[in-house]
Amino acid sequence: MTPALSPAEVTINVVGALFAIPIVFGIFIKAPKLVVFGFIGILFCFSDSTWGQLETDANIYSRGVGMFYFSLLNLILMVAGVAALLKRLANPQGPQLAPPMAKYLAAFVFLLLGHVVVGLMQGIELDVILGYSGIFNVLNMMVFMYLVIMAFESEKDTQRLLLMIIALATLRAIFGAVRFFLFDGDTANPYRNFEGLDIKIFYFDINDNFVASLGAFCAAWLLTTPGVKLGWFKRGLLIAFLVLEVAAVALSFRRTSLIGLGLMFLFLFLRLPGTRKFMFSIVAAGLLAAVASVFYEHRLQFASEDDMLSSLIYDIAPSRGIKDGRFYELYAAAQSMDGNWLFGRGTWGTFSGDRERLSYHGDDFSFVHSGFGHVLLKTGIVGLLLFCGLLAAYVGFYMRHRNSLAGYARLLGDAGFAGFLFWVPTLLVGTPIIEFRTMMMLGLVLAMPFIAVGIRNYQVRAYQYDPRYAVA
């Protein structure tokens, strides 16, 4: 819970917001990259998760909550989104931005407005209807996706974005390594603080694991993709960077992160030509085996006395049944739908069940541990079909264009789709929809293939205009 602010702090925050909002509006109109780079810097460098901490403090993502319906960072996102809309309306002849996704953005806005109307008619407070426990972060995700697409328009922009991702992933990993090896690791450590396990962790926030995994993928892509020429010094730095990022995931002991990283490496394996698959499979198998070994030794062996696979799925194994283990939460949520399957229980809706089995929820039953299940609970089959349609449109777009990309555009597109694969396990069994930082990260990876295709189209136009000035 966010601690109460003193009157002086409230005044400072309000004044700061009044000054920041018009500044952000003007900056995005003139230099959208600065705003987007600012968001990416914050998202990559500041943790949001407080679960597992013995004492929780307000962080940058919660500043402003209590004074406004949304955090100050979310208000800045909205202002930038309005600025982007006005800029787009002022230049309607410009290139289309992610056309497969536009109808889903409109549909989610309409769906959210519908819930606002129904909720107000039922006497629900507006801040509850638009709260983060609903689906508002889906809208945040799509707004950020469009902001990122608008901000990067050239090959040089793509290089800067990739360089920023790698640089921030490096800094974040070094920070985590110093804290892990020289101090006591992440203070958000539910395994030690709540479960009594004598282990320290690199990062608990799933987004920090994503940053490390995305950095590892970019390094592995550069090291293995034909046509990328690297000197021995750069190659050595990339190998060291790859090992550090993989270690960050391994020592964080998050199962969804381990599976997500495995999906990213499997995807890269499938993208490589046959001659490089064998060597990559040996190196990747060695790295993942080392990660799995560390994972099992320090965490999973306490979960099950059987083999490693049984330990990995100890709470979702089919033998436990749907009314036991982790799936009981989804079963209880389904039982609570009670005739609301089409449009859900509302963005303010909750579910009920056996409080003893759901003790890890505390007293908050406004979400479930499944992104898809959460959307279904809140908005029913209609909202779930829209959300799945959005993701399917993204996958279809990447699949249609992936083989036409080259150079930095190919790296950006592949990294974006690999990042999406990382989030699949979390969408299945995690809580991404209620997390601002997670949905913003998902918006980033959704944007990356669209930027890559835009860069390819820019290269084609440049070549048609004058082959001497085409980007290689």
pLDDT in tens, 22-46: 777 788 888 889 999 999 999 999 9
- The total number of structural domains that make up the chain: 1
Region 137-165 average pLDDT: 92
Q: Write down the residue that tokens 């909720």 correspond to.
A: 119
Region 293-311 average pLDDT: 58
- What was the pLDDT predicted at 339? 86
Residue 469 has pLDDT above 50, yes or no: no
374 lies in a domain? yes
Q: What is the rounded distance in angstroms from the CA atom of residue 18 to the CA atom of residue 72?
A: 10
38 lies in a domain? yes
Q: What are the φ/ψ torsions at residue 456 (nearest 5 degrees)?
A: -60, -45
For 225, the 3-state DSSP assignment is coil
- What was the pLDDT predicted at 166? 96
- Alpha helices by DSSP H, listed for 226-273, are 232-250, 255-271
Residue 142 confidence class, pLDDT cut points 50, 70, 90: very high
Convert the pLDDT of each residue in 237-296 to its tens digit: 999 999 999 999 989 888 899 899 999 999 999 998 877 888 888 888 887 777 777 776
| Cβ neighbours for 347, distance < 8 A, ≥ 6 positions apart | 112, 115, 119, 129, 130, 131, 133, 134, 135, 136, 378, 379
Lowest model confidence (mean pLDDT) among 102-116, 293-307, 358-372: 293-307
For 189, the 3-state DSSP assignment is coil
Q: What is the rounded distance in angstroms from the CA atom of residue 111 to the CA atom of residue 120?
A: 14
Q: What is the rounded distance in angstroms from the CA atom of residue 454 to the CA atom of residue 408?
A: 12
353 lies in a domain? no
CB 216 within 8 A of CB 249: yes
Burial class of residue 206 in the structure, from the number of CB atoms within 10 Å of its CB (0-12 exposed, 13-18 middle, 19+ buried)? buried
- What was the pLDDT predicted at 7? 58
Residue 178 has pLDDT above 50, yes or no: yes
327 lies in a domain? no
> In terms of residue numbers, what domain contains 21?
7-309+365-469
pTM for this entry: 0.90
Q: What is the rounded distance in angstroms from the CA atom of residue 422 to the CA atom of residue 258?
A: 9
| Cβ neighbours for 286, distance < 8 A, ≥ 6 positions apart | none
- What was the pLDDT predicted at 472? 40
CB 397 within 8 A of CB 100: yes
- What was the pLDDT predicted at 322? 62
For 65, the 3-state DSSP assignment is strand
17 lies in a domain? yes
347 lies in a domain? no
114 lies in a domain? yes
Residue 307 has pLDDT above 80, yes or no: no
pLDDT above 90 covers what percent of the chain? Answer: 53
Q: Write down the residue that tokens 């909205």 correspond to.
A: 78
Beta-bridge partners for 68: 65
Lowest model confidence (mean pLDDT) among 48-57, 137-146, 173-182, 439-448: 48-57
Q: What is the rounded distance in angstroms from the CA atom of residue 58 to the CA atom of residue 1?
A: 8
- What was the pLDDT predicted at 66? 67
Tokens at 147, concatenated: 């902001």
Q: What is the CA radius of gyration of the chain?
A: 23
- What was the pLDDT predicted at 2? 46
- What was the pLDDT predicted at 143? 96
Region 219-227 average pLDDT: 90
For 68, the 3-state DSSP assignment is strand
Lowest model confidence (mean pLDDT) among 413-422, 428-437, 460-469: 460-469
Residue 325 has pLDDT above 80, yes or no: no
Q: What is the rounded distance in angstroms from the CA atom of residue 370 to the CA atom of residue 427?
A: 6
- What was the pLDDT predicted at 470? 46
Residue 435 confidence class, pLDDT cut points 50, 70, 90: very high
232 lies in a domain? yes
Average pLDDT, the chain: 85
- What was the pLDDT predicted at 1? 45
